[in-house]
Amino acid sequence: MSINHQKGFTLIELVLVIVILGILAATALPKFADMQRDARESALKAALGAVNSAIAIAHSQALLKAQTAKEGKIELEGQSIAMVYGYPAATADGIQAAISLTGDLTFIKDGVLIGFTSGPASNDKCNVIYTAASIAKDATAVTPASASLADDLDCS
């Protein structure tokens, strides 16, 4: 009487396990990629909130210190901030100094717009755009500084 004590897996069982793992990986990978895009967009929205807060805080300080002329300076947390018409200038010593964000900082259109890139550096659809304050041509009204997300936001 012979008893067969063979241990291990057959080739068919191993192939089936590999196929099942491949199917699971193929369905999970796109969901993981979407989560990365969502995370970048969420980080960008947080950066937008930081920029808007910096605008409001700096403008309040400028009003208190009467720094609402074409050029001015205020102090925020020991740091000198360049101001334009009572709002942070679109420069490194303006809005960039007013916020504490890490990441790539890109000047667009001769310093009028600043983009804080949260995605790949080549993706111009994944940034916060800062528009500096300006004055009307008839010099009667100041257009306040503003920050917004790219119109066609895509951080993939």
pTM for the model: 0.69
- Non-local (6+) Cβ contacts of 89 within 8 A are 82, 83, 95, 132
Assigned domain for 56 exists: yes
Assign residue 62 a region (left: φ > 0; alpha: ψ between -120 and 50; beta: otherwise): alpha
Assigned domain for 2 exists: no
Angle at 88 between CA 90 and CA 153, to 5 degrees: 55
Assigned domain for 156 exists: no
Assigned domain for 5 exists: no
Which helix (H) or strand (E) covers residue 148, if one does?
A: strand 146-149
Assigned domain for 6 exists: no
Q: How many domains does the chain have?
A: 1
Q: What's the order of all strands across the beta sheet hosting 79-84?
A: 72-76, 79-84, 87-88
Q: How far apart are CA 40 and CA 119, in angstroms?
A: 6
Assigned domain for 31 exists: yes
Count of residues making up the chain: 156
Q: Which domain holds residue 109?
A: 11-149
Assigned domain for 155 exists: no
Assigned domain for 32 exists: yes
pLDDT in tens, the chain (156 residues): 566 666 777 889 899 999 999 888 888 777 766 677 777 778 778 888 888 999 999 999 999 999 888 899 999 888 899 999 999 988 878 888 888 665 555 554 444 444 555 444 445 667 778 888 888 887 778 889 888 887 777 776
